Each structure stands twice: as C-alpha cells, then as structure tokens.
Amino acid sequence: MGRNINVNVEYLTRVEGHGNIVVNVRESQLEECRLDIVEAPRFFEGMLRNRSIFEAQHITSRICGICSCGHTLASIQAAEDAIGFTPSPQTQKLRRLLMHLETLDSHLLHIYLLVAPDLLGVKSFVPLINTHNDVVRRALRMKKTCNDICEVLVGRHVHPISSIVGGFTKLPSEKELDKMLGMLRSLEVDMKPTIDLAATFVFPEFERDTEFVALVSDTDEYPFLEGDIGTTDGPPIPKDAYKSVTNEFIVSHSSAKHCKNKRGSYMVGALARFNLNYDKLVPNAKDIASAIGLHPVSKNPYLNTAAQLIECIHCIEDSIRIIEDCKEEGVDQSEAILVGLNETGCIPVQAGHGVGAVEVPRGILFHAYDVSEEGKIITANCVIPTGQNLANIELDMKKLVPEILDRTDEEITLSLEMLVRAYDPCISCSAHFLNVEFKNR
Amino acid sequence: MSKVKVAFFDFACCEGCQLQVANMGELLIDILDKIEIVEFREVMSEKSEDYDVAIVEGSITTPHCLERIMKIRSIAKVLIAYGSCATIGGVNGMKNQFEMDDIARSVYGDDAHFFPTRPTRAIDQVVPVDYYVHGCPIYLPELVKVLTHALAGIPYRVPDSAVCVECKLNENVCVYERGVSCLGPVTRGGCNSWCINNGNVCYGCRGMVTNPADNAQRDVLTKYDISLDWVENKMMMYNKAKDAKEA
Amino acid sequence: MSKLYVLKKDRLPDFVSALSNRRRVVAPVAKGESSFAYEEVTASDPIALKHIPTILPPKKFFMPQVETIQRFDMARKQWEPVIDSCPDTVILGVHTCDLAGIDCLNQAMGSDPQDVNYAAKRENILLVAVECTEYCDKYASCAVMGNHTTDAPHDVMFTEINGAYAVQANSEAGDALLQESGLGLLTEAEGEDQTRLDDLRTQKDAIFTPELDANLGDLRNLLVESFDSEVWDDIGDRCLSCGNCTNVCPTCYCFDVKDELDLTLTAGVRNRVWDSCQNEEFALVAGGENFRKQRGARQRHRYMKKLNFALSRFDRFFCTGCGRCTRTCMADISLKDTLNALASEHHASKLAKMSPYQVMAGTIHRTRKMTDLEMYFEIELEGFDLDYEPGQFVMISLPGIGEAPISISSSPHKKGAFELVIRKAGVLTTALHQLQPGATVGIRGPYGRGFPVKELEGKDLVLIGGGCGNIPLHSLIDTCMHEREKFGKIDILLGCRTPKSMLFTDEYDGWRSRPNVNMAMTVDVADEAWSGHIGLITALIPDLQVDPETTHAVVVGPPAMYKFVIQELKKRNIPDEQIILSLERHMKCGVGKCGHCQIGELYCCQDGPVFSYAEIKNKYEAL
C-alpha cells in the first residue's frame, strides 16, 4: 500500500512574494509537483512603453524592494548601452560598491530571518527574541547597518535615490567615505559570530545534477556588474544573446514560463556564482568556505544559503577595498550629474537597443530596452532570476519527494518549503512568471 | 495589559515598504514590546485571523485582492495603509493609462487571457483607511510616528504643505535654479525632502497637496518652458490610480 | 570707539584658523552655481566673504529649524523644559542686512516672557560682520530699510579697503575676540586707513539709494490703505504657497509646536518647528474656519507683519531689505515690485477719489412714459443714496454718446433711488428714452446750488412752473408736501403747452387735498376735455392772494417766461430777494471749469442754477 500525500502550502511564508506549493502523491507515485506563483501581475514592461529612458531606472527599481538597487543598475546598464554612453571608472566603482551593499543586505536578511528559523526549529525570528536575543539583535543591527551605509551612498537602500543613468547625483565627501568605512568595519566585527552561527547549521543533504548560470568575466572581479553569461555546461555567451540562454517557454502541465538552456532547467544565484567564480573570491572567503564544507561545484540547492554567507564575507572585504581606493584617489565631485525629469538634455540620446545583465542577490537579472530617437522606450523586457529558477525548483522537488517519502507529512512539507526558501526566491519581481490555479484545466 | 495584535499584509507591490520595517534595526525589538505581530508573511510563518491593527502594503488589482482586503477590513479595528501603492496607487497606477487587454497582451502575448487584471486602485478606493504613511518607499521615521499615534489612539495629520517647505529648511539649492524641474511644489511633504537632499528631484511619490495652486503652477511652467501635458505625464507615475472607477 | 585695525588679505587664512581653534566658526560657503549657505569651516578656503544673501539666514543658529523645547513623562507626571545651548560660535561674514535681522529676532524673542531657548544660543554666538560696499544683486532693498549701514549690534566689522580689511570691534566681546585671535595678524590702522574707510562710507550713500517708489514713512500707511487692493488678488493667483519666502526670511520666527510620543506611549518630547503663515492650515481653527483661506490674504499678512504690525509691536520694520524672499520665489513675486505696485495704485486711487470727472454707475430701476416727450426714470446707485438737495442736478451719460445736465425731480426724503424726468430733445436723451430697467447709466453729481429750503420754511410760497421747469420744481413741491407743517400757504401755478404735456398729473389731487394749498393751471392749446385756463401763466398771478412780506416766489420755466413772470410778481410787491429762480444754461462739466454756463462772472452750475432775482438782475444776459 503506497503513500498518499497531499501538500498544499498556500502563500508560502518567509519568501518574498506570493507562491503556493502543490504536491500530490498517490500510491507513492508523484502525480503533481508545482510551485505556483500567485503574485498579482503589475505589468511593468507594459508600463514602461513610451516612458523616457531616464525614468526607467526610477520605475523598474519599484519592481522589487529588496533588489531595487539591482534593478536600478540593470536598467541603467541597459539604458547606457542603448544610448551609447560609457560610465566613468569612478561611477563604475561606486556602482559596484552599491551592489555589494545590496547583496549583503539581502543575504543577511535571508540567512538570519528567512532560513535560520527553520534550522533552529522555530516558525520565525520572533520566538528567537527570547531564546537567542543577541542573535536577533545582531541580525537586525547588521541589516540596518547595510541600510545606513546605503543611506550615506545613495540616500536609501530601497529605491536608491542618487544612482541614475550617467552616474550619481551626489558623490560622497571625505567625511562620508570615513563614515561608510566605519560601518563596514562594524559589519566585519559582527560577521565573525555570524560565521560561527552558520557553521552550526545542518543543511539537508540532497543533490541533483544541475546546470549553473552566472556572470563571468576576464577581470579579477568576482562579477556582479560586468561580464558575459557563464554556464557550467559550456563557454560564456555575450549578454546581448541572453535570450538564447533563457529560452522562456511554457510547460504544458502548468503555465509558468520556465527557462532552460542546455538541460530542462538551470540554477542562478549565490551557489551558481560560487560554483563559476570561486577563484575570484577573496582568500578569506575561500577559507571559510572550506571550513564549512562548501566546495565548487556544489550541487545541493540547500547550500545556496551557505554560498550566500561566503559572498557576504567577500562583499564586506571588497567594499572596504573600494572605499579605501576612493579615499586614496579622491572622489571627483564634478562628476555629480542631474538629469531630473530629463529636460536638461545633458546626456544625448539616440535610438538603439541595450541589454543590462547584473547579478542581484538571487541571480542574474536581465533588462533589455529598445529606445527611440527621442530617448523613449519602445519595448522593454525584464528576465528575473527567480523566474529562471522556477523550472529548476520544480525538478528539484520532483527528485526530492520520492527520496523522502518515508517521512511524516509535516516533515515533507517543511523540506519542500525549505527547498524553495533556499533559492531565496523573489516572487513579486517575477513579472511574467505568473500562474493561476489550473486544477480544473 | 495585553499587547496590541498587529498583522502585516501585502497586495500588488514590491514589498519594499515591508523591508523598511526590517530596516528599523534593534528599534524593532523595542516595538515588539508593545505590539504582538501575529502575521507578517514575509518574515514569519505564523498566521492569524485575530488582529487589532492591519498594516497594508500594495494596491488592489484583481478581484482576489478585493476579497482579501474586505476581509481584512472587517476584522481589523484600525487599518494603516503604507507605501504609495497602498495610499495612492503608486507606480502600479501607470497601468491604468492603457486598456487592460492591451497591456496584458503587450506582456503576455497570446497568454494574456490567463492574467485577468483590473485598473489599479489604492486601498482607500475600496475600503476606509484610518492612517496613511505615504512615500515610495515610506520614510521610516514617519512610520514610527504613525504607529505611535495609532497605538495611542490619536489621529495622524499628514502635512498638507509642499515638499518645498522641508527642502528649504534643509537649505538645498532649488533644482529649478539648476535648470531642472521637480514635482516638489505640488507634492505633499513629510519625507524631509529625501530625494532632493540626495541631489535628485522630487518625483511626486507622496501624492499631491490637497489644494494645489493651479494658476500659479501654470505660470511657473510657462516660465521654465514646460508644457502642462509633460507635467501630467510625470505626475502619472504615482498619481494615476485615483482616477480609477469601480472595476 | 574701538581701535581700527587692518588685516591684510593674505593673513585671513591664519585669522580663520586662530578663530576656529577656540570656537566653532561658521561662514558662507558656495553651494551650486550662485547660492551660498552658512556652514562650519576650519579654514578660509571655502569661505565666500563676497556673497549674496545665503539660502537660509543666520537665524538657523539662533533658532534651529527643529528644536526640542520640552520633555514629558506622564508615567511620572513630569514635564521638563529642554534648553539646548550651542557651542561657542563665531558667525563670520554677516552682512549688515542680516545684522538687522538678528536684531529684530533679539527683540521678538527677548520680549516678555523671554524665549530662553533663543537666549541660550544667542549668548554663545559672536557676530563678525562684513560690510557691503556695493549691491549684492538687484533684489536687495536694504537702503529703503536703512540697513546698508550698521546700527544693529555686532561684535566685529570687516570692511574691504584697498586689498585689505579694515577691522573694528563693536563690543567688548569683539575686542576680546580680536585680542585673542588677531594677535600678530592685525596691524593698527594708519590715519589714511581711517580716511579711506570714511570716504567709502560716504560713497555708500551715493551707491545705496532708496529702491522703492514709496519712502519709508509712507510704507506703513500705504499698506494700511491698500488692504483691499487688487494687487493682493493678483499675487494670490501667482503664489504657490511653498513657504519659501518665510523660511528664508531673517526675521520670520513663527513656529509650530508638535508633541511626539515615543514608543512607551507615555513619554516623549515637544518640538518647535519653523512654520509659515503661507501654509494653507496656518490660520485654520477647529471647526474648519480658516481665517486666511486665500493665498493673496496670506501674502498680504506677511507684508503687513513686516511693514505694519512690527511697527506697532516693536517700533521698527521687520523687513531687512535682504531680498531673499524675492530671490527664492519660484513665482517671481517680488517685494519691490509689489510695494511699487501698491504705491502707484494708491496714488492713482487717491487722485481718482479727488477727480471731479469720476462717473458713478447708476442702474435704471423703473421707467415710465409720462408724455410724448418726457419719460420718468428711477435710478439706483450701487449701495448708497445720492446726497442732494431739491433744485440740484446730475450729469447723466451714456458712454460713447454723451453727457447732459438733468434736474433731479425727486425729493431727498425718498430713499434707495432718485428720480429724473427727461425730455427727449437730442441724441443723448433719445438714447436714454430707449433704455429698459436694468440698464446702466453714468451719473455725476449732484451739482449746483439748490432751492433755499431753510429760508422758505415758515413762509407762504408761490411755486410757478412752466413747461419742463415743472421738473425741478417738482422736487421742491414734493419736499414741501412731505413736511407740510414747515411751510405756510402754498400756491402752485403750472403752465404747459397742452393738457397732454402736463407732468405729474397723478399727484395734483394729492397736492390739492393738503391744507392751505391752491393750484391753478393753464395751457397754451386746449383739447375738448380741458376746462381750465387757457393762456399765459402770467395771467394766473393777479388772482393770487399774496402778502409781500411773507411770500416767496419760486419760478422755473423756459427762458422766455422769466421776464414776464417777474414783472407780474413785482406788481404784487414781492421783494427781489424773495423771488427765487432756477436758470438753465448749456453745461459740460458741472463743476465750473468748462466755461459754457457762465453768467457774468457767475457759473450757473456752481453758483446756480438757483439764484434769487436780487443776485442776477444786474448780470448781463442773465434773463
């Protein structure tokens, strides 16, 4: 007599955005296994039509709160690409710093508030206030510090203010560089107990052979903002050809658009970056990775969280390096630029097509714009990392469920939830990857 | 004395305002002394149908959203709408300038019929709202203020003067003098001129003052050679939803 | 008078360093292309001593934009004032206009009860001023306010002369400051330095000239009299209520008080925050009444506060002439332009009030055709009664057509409107006859000397009216009938061409029915119905019972009538002074200027139209 299991998690908790897990097992046979995305669509690509290329950054930032810097920078990259503008080295440096801060912010939130409760056996950080008060305080403190550094650099983390096409509207003064440095050093201090805590986490054991996709580049940088599309399954592909990688398609049994490249699916995110760019991590990060048993190429999606921890170490160190660099070279204040609601015409526009590819905390993000002569957007396309992960998640679930059929219903449900959470999905971004319940189709 | 039960909900939004709550840092723990968060999907697995205060982010864009918000309103004694998506429709409102079919098609092509959508509406266009925290994202000190007012049972008056007041108090150089225009003069303040402090312009995310000086606005536009259409187009970024009728 | 020193320009950096070793130094620093703001400095590089007024005035150091003034804790039932001081500060580079501004604030905040929060900062702040030797820009109006030179308290004054600064302390603290920070940097001034300084100051009087049309003395009066001016409406249309003008004003100190609870919900602080009378809600009371709902009213209030109310409260203007409000206004509302507009409007209206040619709008309330040629008009003025005597006339006009003198036919006891009876005789009167009730006519007047009603009281009256002379006579008849007891016997003799041309016929029975009133009428040409006298009006006089001592005759009629009627009256021995005539002449101005109505040296429009026979019997061409 086989097992019958019916898992129906409505509005999965501790993920960004609204998703449902549906798993049906009959007679120990897996009948149905889906991650349904029930986020209300907002139609950003539609809304961008006919808006100025300079507004795109402001608007697309609002696709997602936690990846708002990522969207901003991807949008700016696509726009600058389309109108043929090359940002200055100083601008690129500061954008890299901004991306590090967002990566830190997002990863720390994920590790501490979204994943840790599962690994400590509680439903949220709230009970931890009593049992692990200093842990919760540290988590909130670190998260706030990331936000505070962003405040100094760009005004705020959520929907950054001073990062626009062409550069920055405000550049940090000497004092402000020192302030940011001080805060980064305090993060360094808090990072140590974080690593200690993470070392005690016992991640579920599970593996599936997967293709990993992330930005790769020829430089020494662990790439977040530049490079080509790298894959564990072949040579790098130029970012302009992103569509050949993402290959969005509709799966017959569900209408989530999935992505596949060489196989039925691929994975993006911290683990993918770690697997593809391990060599470029700062030495300290590599050491800690070894210490916690994380090596490239790791095929356990639950270890995405561990990879995030390693990236935190890297990002803090690299941010400090960038700021010390800025202090030494000085910040050229005359590069501050204001385009406003695009009237000064200080940046000339031309018709064109541009693609921006950046690594946001969750994986590779693409923005692609067609721009008219007047600098208006004709069409826009955004391919979100979480959307690229959906097929992979489903295939993971399909492999996992039969392997854990001997556990209780609650344990199976929790394992599935934890699996989805490990990917750190950002569901509300998934503008096109939407689905409604098709139980009756 | 039992703690006030607070639940966080979200609709069509980017969840950035919820994130701001997480950015409160250790102050959040102090707040948790006073309130019991019984539901906050993004960071907690606990759920509840028993709460006194509902804090809502996001706009109403589908019939399902409408059902949910009505249920929430029927349970909560106090409803706080926070973030522009909830208070005035926010960027989601830009969708309203298109026909629903057209925009769905532009994004989903032939699959458009799977994604039924209605014109975006702010929360108060469907249920009464007790407190507003405007902004995209919210200005955290204002959320703390509103929460304190709500817990103390005092109404919160959103300042009805233009962003220009705070901007001048912060001694910013007016961006108009730099040859760039800004929606500050018609946008209600309370954000401490956040964006202008950081060198950018005001995009009007907090909504318009209740009594904008129409004539004066026109004069200023003429003076700087800006057309009314152009300004309305900019204002549509955040303020379009208020025109939406019953879906 | 403190010693005069000289600081060479290349020693300024050392001076600033020395200052900043001991105190916080704030000075104007460039922000953007053409703006300045006071910021903390430790060296002289960023300082712009030559600057246009800063975005925010120095008041932000004395009275911060947001300031906690009170802490409370209801759990312990405690309130505690919070009085924040500030570090020892030197504000370097204050212009004389801003010195005046600080002085105003000192007065306002020092007034009983003293604002200790302000005082706590003030006592730690020293002012090192910089004198302007030329206008900062076109927005300043410091000369009008007398603030281009210094009267206001300050500690040290810098004046640029010939590549160096003349430096002079103006207070003990200033002296001490120069001793401690200027050591080795300042040199004592020579005689010629003082001379240069004096010359410069003399030159300033020629450079800084009053920037307004109105002078200081008139300004207050101007504002008082311009309360209802349309200039405020125009400004109201243009104003954005952004509050910039008040925020940047050195003497604005209005504030809001806001309590902020902390999360304990029982403790918190009370803050004061700069507020603005330009804000929509500034004058709003509970219940919804807004005492200054219109933008124009709010701007007017601002001007009133600075240039009128401040005089009452503080005995000085609270406008320093710094120009900030104009400079910062997006709607280009300019202090100088506004005051100039008010002044010229005031001047124009003063003149207008004096003008004898000012036309009032009258509305025709009723009309009635009386005869083939004559029409009755009842005319209302806007909200007031015409103040006239019987026998006076108005100049009535229709724009584009013309103006003519018409006698008032009603008696002044009638309120709310007055009456004219107009004979159709020319282009204007023909046009007037076409008018319907509701139409507008132009009215000037009343003009002329009317009937001597007071003199006629207690007398017997013979009232003789011929033709359209009956119209002005009616005014007198009506007056007498209204106060019948004041007059003796009344004989009324009326003459007309035909019975159909008789006027006021519906009133005759009323007159006749009054005690001691006799009426006799005559026509030139009768119809079948006429049973009265036919012939000249003079024929009616012999039948009268008159006592020459008590009888006054009033005669109004066509020019030809007077000679003969007077002859008959003389036969009855009525004295010349007791014969009253109303004469008619061509009139264009009604105020004795145009020359048309002259009789001898008299003007019929001013000295008449009512004359006694005695007055004019020897005038050429009078009758």
Residue of B nearest to A434 (CA): B115
| Record: contact C265-B169, CB cut-off 8 A | no
Chain B environment of A339 (Cβ under 8 Å): 180
Residue type at position A17: G
Distance of CA A330 to the CA centre of its chain: 31
Query: Chain B interface, mutation test: which of C242, C257, C292, most B Cβ atoms within 10 Å?
Result: C242
| Record: contact B171-C37, CB cut-off 8 A | yes
Beta bridge partners of A29: A26
Chain B environment of C65 (Cβ under 8 Å): 169
Q: What pLDDT does A16 receive?
A: 67
- Contacts with B, A 24-53, CB within 8 Å: 39-43, 45-47, 49
Q: Which string of DSSP letters, residue by residue, matches A310-375?
A: HHHHHHHHHHHHHHHHHHHH---GGG----TTTTS--S----EEEEEEEEETTEEEEEEEEE-TTS
Sorted by where each starts, the structural domains of chain A and their CATH numbers stand as 5-429 (1.10.645.10)
Which among A356, A331, A361, A338 has a CA at the least distance from the CA of A91?
Answer: A331
Shortest CB distance from B178 goes to which of C32, C60, C280? C32
Q: Which helix (H) or strand (E) holds A150?
A: helix A133-154
Q: Answer with the residue of higher pLDDT: C2 or B125.
A: B125
Residue C433 CA to residue A37 CA, distance in Å, equals 86
| Record: contact B29-A129, CB cut-off 8 A | yes
Residues in chain B, overall count:
247
Residue type at position A149: I
**CA angle, A109 then A279 then A101, to 5°:** 30
Beta bridge partners of C465: C494, C556
| pLDDT tens-place string over residues C400-426 | 889 999 999 999 999 999 999 999 998
Superfamily of domain B4-152 in the CATH hierarchy: NADH:ubiquinone oxidoreductase-like, 20kDa subunit (3.40.50.700)
Residue of B nearest to C274 (CA): B169
Chain B environment of A186 (Cβ under 8 Å): none
In chain C, pLDDT over 90 holds for what percent of residues? Answer: 68
**Burial class for B125, CB neighbours closer than 10 Å (0-12, 13-18, 19+):** buried
Q: Does the structure show a pLDDT above 60 at B16?
A: yes
Report ipTM for this prediction: 0.91
| Record: contact C238-B216, CB cut-off 8 A | yes
Q: What pLDDT does B113 receive?
A: 66
Beta bridge partners of C599: C602
Could you tell me the CA-to-CA distances from A60 to A64, A227, A380, A430, B184 in Å, in that order? 8, 22, 10, 12, 21
Q: What pLDDT does A38 receive?
A: 63
| Record: contact B34-C281, CB cut-off 8 A | no
- Give C29-93 as a 3 state SS string: EEECCCEEEEEEECCCCCECCCCCCCCCCCHHHHCCCEEEEEEEECCCCEEEECCCCCCCEEEEE
| Most distant CA pair in chain C, distance | 123
Q: Answer with the residue of higher pLDDT: A97 or B162.
A: A97
Label residue B126 by pLDDT band (50, 70, 90). Answer: very high
Chain A environment of B38 (Cβ under 8 Å): none
Distance from CA of A11 to the nearest CA of B (A): 8
In chain A, pLDDT over 90 holds for what percent of residues? Answer: 55
Q: Where exactly are the structural domains of chain B? A: 4-152, 163-241
Instruction: Please say whether the beta carbons of C465 and C496 come within 8 A.
Output: no
Instruction: Please say whether the beta carbons of C313 and C295 come within 8 A.
Output: no
Q: Rounded to the nearest 5°, which phi and psi values hold at A250?
A: -100, 135
Chain B environment of C32 (Cβ under 8 Å): 173, 177-178
Listed in order, strand segments (DSSP E) in C262-318 are 267-274
| Record: contact B168-C276, CB cut-off 8 A | no
What does the mean pLDDT of chain C come to?
91
Instruction: Please say whether the beta carbons of C233 and C333 come within 8 A.
Output: no
> Which chains would you list as touching B if contact means 3+ CB atom pairs under 8 Å?
A, C
Determine if the peptide bond prior to C609 is cis (ω within 30°). yes
Residue C304 CA to residue C496 CA, distance in Å, equals 64
Shortest CB distance from A47 goes to which of B17, B19, B94? B94
Q: Which helix (H) or strand (E) holds C581?
A: strand C579-582
Chain B environment of A43 (Cβ under 8 Å): 95, 103-104, 106-107, 117
Instruction: Give the strand order in the sheet containing A266-267.
Output: A234-237, A228-231, A211-216, A266-267
Q: Does the structure show a pLDDT above 50 at B52?
A: yes
| Record: contact B29-A137, CB cut-off 8 A | yes
Q: Is B235 helix (H, G, I), strand (E, B) or coil?
A: helix
Residue A43: count of CB within 10 angstroms of its CB: 24
Residue C287 CA to residue C331 CA, distance in Å, equals 32
Residue A66 CA to residue A305 CA, distance in Å, equals 17
Residue C445 is encoded by which pair of tokens?
Answer: 């007047």
Residue A285 CA to residue A314 CA, distance in Å, equals 6
| Residues of chain B in Cβ contact (below 8 Å) with chain C | 30-31, 33-34, 144-145, 148-149, 151-152, 160-162, 164-165, 168-169, 171-174, 176-178, 184-185, 209-211, 213, 215-217, 219-220, 223
- Gyration radius (Cα) of chain A, Å: 21
Chain B environment of C63 (Cβ under 8 Å): none
Which among C282, C325, C322 has a CA at the least distance from the CA of C303?
Answer: C325
Residue of B nearest to A63 (CA): B14
**What's the half-sphere exposure (Cβ side, CA atoms, 13 Å) at C8?**
5
Residue C277 CA to residue C295 CA, distance in Å, equals 10
Residue C233 is encoded by which pair of tokens?
Answer: 């409406």
- Contacts with A, B 35-94, CB within 8 Å: 37, 40-47, 58, 61-62, 64-65, 90-92, 94
Chain C environment of B178 (Cβ under 8 Å): 32-33
Q: Answer with the residue of higher pLDDT: C352 or A327.
A: A327
| Record: contact C241-B161, CB cut-off 8 A | yes
| Mean local confidence (pLDDT), C323-351 | 89
Which among B45, B43, B50 has a CA at the least distance from the CA of B20?
Answer: B43
Instruction: Please say whether the beta carbons of B130 and B78 come within 8 A.
Output: yes
Instruction: Please say whether the beta carbons of C543 and C568 come within 8 A.
Output: no
Q: Which helix (H) or strand (E) holds C419?
A: strand C418-423
| Record: contact B137-A156, CB cut-off 8 A | yes
Could you tell me the CA-to-CA distances from C549 to A31, A404, C458, C460 in Å, in that order? 136, 140, 12, 9
| Record: contact B164-C240, CB cut-off 8 A | yes
Query: Chain B interface, mutation test: which of A43, A44, A344, A347, most B Cβ atoms within 10 Å?
Result: A43
Residue in this structure with the two tokens 């300290």, named with its chain if needed? A284
End-to-end alpha carbon distance in chain A: 29
| Mean local confidence (pLDDT), C507-520 | 94
Residue C150 is encoded by which pair of tokens?
Answer: 């210094």
| Record: contact B179-A343, CB cut-off 8 A | yes
Q: What pLDDT does C531 receive?
A: 86
| pLDDT tens-place string over residues A1-25 | 567 777 777 777 776 666 777 777 7
Sorted by where each starts, the structural domains of chain C and their CATH numbers stand as 4-63+77-207 (no CATH), 216-354 (no CATH), 360-447 (2.40.30.10), 453-582 (3.40.50.80)
Could you tell me the CA-to-CA distances from A34 to A60, A299, A300, C160 in Å, in that order? 28, 21, 19, 81
Q: What pLDDT does C216 receive?
A: 62
| Record: contact B177-C248, CB cut-off 8 A | no
Distance from CA of B193 to the nearest CA of C (A): 13
Q: Does the structure show a pLDDT above 70 at A118?
A: yes
| Record: contact C260-B168, CB cut-off 8 A | no
Residue C604 is encoded by which pair of tokens?
Answer: 């019929």
CB contact B145 to A (< 8 Å)? no
Distance from CA of B170 to the nearest CA of C (A): 9
Q: Does the structure show a pLDDT above 50 at B210?
A: yes
Q: What pLDDT does B203 receive?
A: 93
Chain A environment of B203 (Cβ under 8 Å): 58, 341
Residue of B nearest to A128 (CA): B29
Residue of B nearest to C60 (CA): B169
Residue of A nearest to B108 (CA): A432
Chain A environment of B107 (Cβ under 8 Å): 41, 43, 45-46, 431-432
Q: How many CB pairs under 8 A join A and B?
A: 204
> Which chains would you list as touching C if contact means 3+ CB atom pairs under 8 Å?
B
- Gyration radius (Cα) of chain B, Å: 19
Beta bridge partners of C553: C462, C579
Q: How many CB pairs under 8 A join B and C?
A: 100
Beta bridge partners of A164: A167
- 3-state percent breakdown (helix, strand, coil) of chain B, nearest 5: 45, 15, 40
| pLDDT tens-place string over residues C417-460 | 999 999 999 899 999 999 999 999 999 989 999 999 999 999 99
- The answer, as to whether pTM is greater than 0.80, is no
Residue B173 CA to residue B232 CA, distance in Å, equals 24
Shortest CB distance from B45 goes to which of A65, A123, A156? A123
Instruction: Please say whether the beta carbons of C164 and C6 come within 8 A.
Output: yes
| pLDDT tens-place string over residues C108-141 | 999 999 999 999 999 999 999 999 988 999 999 9
Label residue C256 by pLDDT band (50, 70, 90). Answer: very high
Per mean pLDDT, which range of A416-420, B132-136, C481-485 is the poorest? A416-420
Chain B environment of C265 (Cβ under 8 Å): 34, 148, 151-152
Q: Is A431 helix (H, G, I), strand (E, B) or coil?
A: coil
Q: What pLDDT does C579 receive?
A: 95
| Record: contact A113-B46, CB cut-off 8 A | no
User: Which residues are CB-neighbours of A18 under 8 A, at least 6 positions away?
Assistant: A11, A12, A37, A38, A39, A40, A427, A428
